[in-house]
Each structure stands twice: as C-alpha cells, then as structure tokens.
Structure 1
Amino acid sequence: MVLEAIHYCRGELSILNQLLLPQSAQYEMVGGVQDAWHAIRDMKVRGAPAIAAVGCLSLAVELVHKDFSTTEEVAEFVSEKLACLVSARPTAVNMTREAQALEEELRDMIRKEGSTAVGVRDWLVTKIEGIPERDIQVNRDIGQHGARHIVEHTRGQKIVILTHCNTGALATCGYGTALGVVRTLHEAGTLERVYCTETRPYNQAVVVGADRIVANGDVANKLGTFSLALAAQHHQIPFYVAAPCSSWDPKLPCGSSVVIEERAAAELTHINGQRIAAQGIDVWNPAFDITPANLITGGIITEFGVFPAADLTAALLASKS
C-alpha cells in the first residue's frame, strides 16, 4: 500500500492529519483556502513541497466552484488567496515560489487575445492539478542524482544513511526528497541501513531536506539540522541537502536574512492538551535553524544534479538559461 498524505480529485481535497500520527490515520476535508491555511499553520500538513501542493490545490477547489464575470476578477481573487496561503508558514519558500509562478503565468494568460473568465479559470485549475505529478517527478530526479553521487563516492561499499526532517510521502506529493535518495539506493541494492551508528566514514552519508536555500548556499531546515551538520563534519561524514529548486530563494543573500518561524509555546509545554511543564516556564520555540554552506560537505541535491552549496546559485541559473 502506497502512503498518500494528499487526496485530490477535481473540486475535492483531503489531507492526512499528521497531528494524529502515529496513533491514527485520519483524513480531513479541505474545503478551500481558509481550511488549507489552518491545516498548514497548525502543522496538519508538513514539508515544504506538501505545503505548496495543498495550498495551491485548495485554491483549485475554490476556483472550480466559483463563477467570474471578467478575467480581472479572476486575477484579483487568485492574488488575494495566494497572499493568504503564503502567510501560513513563511519560512518555507515553496508556497511563495508556486504563488509567484502562478500569478506570472496568469497575467500572461489574461493578456492573450480572446481570453475569457471561464477559460482563464479552467486553465488555472488544470495548471494547479499538474503540481502533484510534477513534484513526484522532481523527487524521482533528486533521488537518482543523489543516489548516483553517493554511490560514486563510497567506493562500491554498502551505504549507511541518516536522514533528518524528511518524511517522504508525508512531506511531498508521494515520493520524498531525502527519503527519495534512500529509496533509490534501496532499489539499487546498495543500501545497508538508514541510520548512522558506525564510525566508518567511507560508506556513510547524512541526507536532509530543506525549507529554504538562499543565494550563498546556506540552508534553513527543521531545528536540529545545524547540530547534525556539525556532528557530521566532526566525524568526516558527507552531509547532503536534498531539495527541489522550488526551495531555492536567490533573492536572499545569506542565512541570516531568513525570517525564522517561531511556534506556539504550548507545543513544548503540553502534550494532548495536558501541561507537562511548570507554570511560568519561558519558551523559545523556533521551528528552523540555519546550516551554513560550508557544513554541507556532500553537496545540494536537486532535480538538475548535485552541486557544491556555494556554487548552487550559479549552477541553477546556468541550468535555467
């Protein structure tokens, strides 16, 4: 059975509520953008690619059930809804990138001679509905590039992989980035274990995901990534980041420019509504930390290949030209 965290058919969207895992697997309907905003903000949906997919698909649900008089009305509606979705989890850049791309293409579509409100709406719905399939293909490409690069640098030995903050199909539309690399290694028969306990650096690697990669190669990812990168450097274990190009944000120069989302104190002081910390305890609950590019010793794995972190921006700009 293949795990699916997102179920969509035209006009209907449901998500696996990850707050209830592992005790139960329950799907909840997402009736539109406001439902998606709360699901993303409350972390029922997790993983930057999944956040972007659920956000955009929730917009498609609303579009299917709404009539418009003019193309300008479509554009105004879409812009407002996308702005709302972007605000849900601001550190993860994928939703922002998808929103920008959709708005740019929508403007181009509206400018075409003979465009109508119905035609533009239906085109946009179809465009959004293609996001899950594109995400899975990007993940497969990441898996292939990452697995090939790791195998080439491990002297033909069985490989031990440690992953952090990536849950495969739970974080994407069905395959995974860091776990996509693991899956490809497993299918090739070169994977020994998916954790890291031995001290043989020649056949080990750490692979993590990313919520945002900035221009100089610094990476924002789930809290604990930075300390893991330091440990990997100390033990001379290659440290990789696996992420789609939609996680790349060349507009920000370095990691210190990233606004780190802070979560509610209750996430640390309560479990299932029951307080586990003493009254009056101060809480600082950042959701992400920044890993400097120089600690990403293995490279950044994208759908276009594996690149040194410091060279990522130049490489991706060249690949898109």
Structure 2
Amino acid sequence: MKTSLSWDGEAVIAVDQRALPRDYRLLRLASVDELIDAIRSLAIRGAPAIGLAGALGVALSARWHGAMANEVTAEVTADASRLAHARPTAVNLEWGVRRALGRLHDGPDAVLTEALAMLEEDAATNRAASLRAADLVLSLTKRRPLRLLTHCNTGRLATAACGTALGAILELAERGCVAEVLVDETRPLLQGSRLTAWELGEAGVPYRICVDSAAASAMARGLVDCVLVGADRITANGDVANKIGTYGLAVAAAHHRIPFFVVAPESTWDRSLPEGSAILIEERDSAEVTHCAGTAVSPVDAGVYNPAFDVTPANLITATVSELRTVAR
C-alpha cells in the first residue's frame, strides 16, 4: 500500500494533497521551512499525518543543526515550536513534535529513529482502530449491505497507513458489507470529493459524492445507515473537534436515530482540556471561500467566516473508537 508520508534518507517525501485528484505528485521536503509550508497549505493534512510530519520535522532540524548527544540545542527547540504551532486545532501535531523532541538528548539519529518508529506504529494503530470500528458498526446496525456516509478525508492520505474512519469503511467493504458510501464534498476545500472519492475509487468501493447540505436530506430519505468521521482533537469529556460540517451531521444523525461514530487514534485525545469550548478553532484564509480553483465566486468586498473545524458534543456521538478502546454513549 502506498503511504502519504515516507523518509528517503535525507528528506520527507509526501503526497501533495493539493494536486489530487488531477495529479498524483510527490513533494520532497528537505527543510523545516518547507515542511511547515506544506502543513499550512494543506499539502500535508489530516490530524495523524501532520503529527507524523511534525516528528519528521524535528528529525530534519536535528540533522540540519547537528545536535549532539546530551545537548539540546536552542535551534532545534525553536524549530520544534514552529512546527507544533503550524496549525492550532489538531492535537496530534504537538504530540508528534513533543515525542520526537523527547529523544533529542540522545542525538539526531535517535530522533529520526523515533519518528520512523511512529510511522510504523501508525499502520498498526490504523489497523486496530479500523477493525474495532468495523466490528462495532456491524453490531449496532441491521441492514446489509450498509449505506455509509463520511465527511472530509480520513484515509491513507490523512495518516501514514489505511486510515481511521475511512479505514473502517474499507474494512467493511472487504467483508462485503458496503452497498455504497455517500461522500460529503466537504466545503470549502473539497477534501471529500477530491481525496476520499479518489481513495474509494482506487479501492473499488461504490460511492457517490453529495454536497454537504444534502447529507441531512439523504438521512431523511433513508439513504444512510450510519455515519463515520474522524477527529482532530477529543477533549476529556468526549467532545470532538473535526472538519467543519461534522457538528451538523451529528445533529441530523441524532434526529434520525442514525448511529454516529468517531474513529481516531489515542494521540487525538487531549485530556488537558475538559470540554469542547476550550478547543482553539483555526480560521483560514477568506480566499478559500471566495474563490474556487483560483476563480472568484463572491463579490470582491464580501466578508467571510471560514472556520476549519467545529465541535461536536459527546452526547451526539454514538461511540468514539481508538486502537485501544471504544467509548460508547
């Protein structure tokens, strides 16, 4: 299986997610500045993936600055801080940077070894969470084959392996339990219609793209048996920050009594925050809304509200699944 992130011995190799589905191209990121730009511009995106990229960024910095064993250099620490703050909402980024930085006193090779170990762990984490979530979906739904709905992208492009929520969908498909996946386009940057649809197509799983505002109607018409999404940060009480539009899906699913599942690794939990209102929500550039593929689609002077994420309260979530446990409501 192709992965979204790898190491070529000197630099980070990443799938450029801005180019899909038109072009499949790889970026070679040989400096921390290049890596930060890739994260901020969403060339690398997805909470698990940016956490792993952050760890690899610390390794890049340690090698660049020649950090010696038992010597924590100010330069590497500063680079680590810049990496950790490249995007504010997904806790995985800070987690990955912190874990790799914890090996700096053992030297650059130890930092790289830790980052590469995290890539390997991600594959096992994805697999365990996907299996657990697939089993849970089958235990709580009756119709076969299933009609599933998902939002944004939670597959191998958002991780370094098979994915989280999309990993569970692919597992269900392998068991012959999927009739169709409804893929929210995920405005404004279309991670669903560009990325998730591309991954499902590669896997041969039947899907249809729907505009975000059609999801509730699809539920009302009986076209959805359950909803599976990922997460960027989960608070101590189980509130979930995820791609903007997730909260609306959860409200609609609750109204129609449709199971709503969150699939995310343990690294996405932030138990230092008591509940969702404490999560810092990233707001992105207005051009993402006022333009489409470089063409203006709004008045020049239009004001824009462009949060990248929203928060879904725990009481709207049927269950949150990680590689280690299932938290049911």
TM-score (norm 1): 0.85
Say whether residues 1:231 and 2:231 are aligned partners. Answer: no
Identify which of 133, 148, 153 aligns with 1:166: 153
Compute the displacement of 1:202 (Å): 12
Distance 1:286 1:161 in 2: 26
Distance 1:208 1:219 in 2: 10
Which residue does the alignment assign to 2:115?
128
Which residue does the alignment assign to 2:291?
270
Which residue does the alignment assign to 2:192?
none
Compute the displacement of 1:155 (Å): 3.9
Deviations 1:238-276 (A, max 9, x none): 001000011100101111101100000111112333322
Say whether residues 1:6 and 2:26 are aligned partners. Answer: no
Deviations 1:218-242 (A, max 9, x none): 1000000000001111111000100
Contact 1:201 1:235 in 2 (8 A): no
Compute the displacement of 1:163 (Å): 1.1
Say whether residues 1:284 and 2:305 are aligned partners. Answer: yes
Compute the displacement of 1:295 (Å): 0.4
Distance change in 2, residues 1:69/1:125 (3 Å): closer
Distance change in 2, residues 1:100/1:73 (3 Å): closer
Which residue does the alignment assign to 2:67?
68
Contact 2:58 2:97 in 1 (8 A): no
Compute the displacement of 1:65 (Å): 4.5
Unpaired runs of 5+ residues, structure 2, are 183-214
CA RMSD of aligned residues (A): 2.2
Distance 1:217 1:198 in 2: 24
Identify which of 96, 103, 106 aligns with 1:106: 103
SS at match of 2:129: helix
Q: After the TM superposition, which of the residue ranges 10-19 and 155-164 deviates more from structure 2?
A: 155-164
Which residue does the alignment assign to 1:56?
55
Contact 1:31 1:62 in 2 (8 A): no
Contact 2:61 2:79 in 1 (8 A): no
Compute the displacement of 1:121 (Å): 2.1
SS at match of 1:175: coil
Say whether residues 1:46 and 2:45 are aligned partners. Answer: yes
Which residue does the alignment assign to 1:308?
328
SS at match of 1:182: helix
Distance change in 2, residues 1:264/1:130 (3 Å): same
SS at match of 2:18: helix
Say whether residues 1:145 and 2:132 are aligned partners. Answer: yes
Distance 1:243 1:121 in 2: 30
TM-score (norm 2): 0.83
Contact 1:4 1:173 in 2 (8 A): yes
Give runs of aligned pairs for residues 75-90 of structure 1, distance below 5 A.
76-90=74-88
Which residue does the alignment assign to 2:242?
221
Distance change in 2, residues 1:255/1:25 (3 Å): same
Identify which of 200, 219, 232 aligns with 1:211: 232
Which residue does the alignment assign to 2:175?
188
Compute the displacement of 1:201 (Å): 7.2
SS at match of 1:143: helix
SS at match of 1:307: strand
Deviations 1:58-107 (A, max 9, x none): 33234334423562244x3432222111111110100112223334x437
Q: After the TM superposition, which of the residue ranges 201-210 and 119-128 deviates more from structure 2?
A: 201-210
Equivalenced residue count is 295
Unpaired runs of 5+ residues, structure 1, are 111-118, 310-321
Q: After the TM superposition, which of the residue ranges 155-164 and 203-212 deviates more from structure 2?
A: 155-164
Compute the displacement of 1:154 (Å): 2.2
Distance 1:70 1:166 in 2: 39
Give runs of aligned pairs for residues 194-205 of structure 1, distance below 5 A.
194-195=181-182, 197=218, 204-205=225-226
SS at match of 1:19: coil
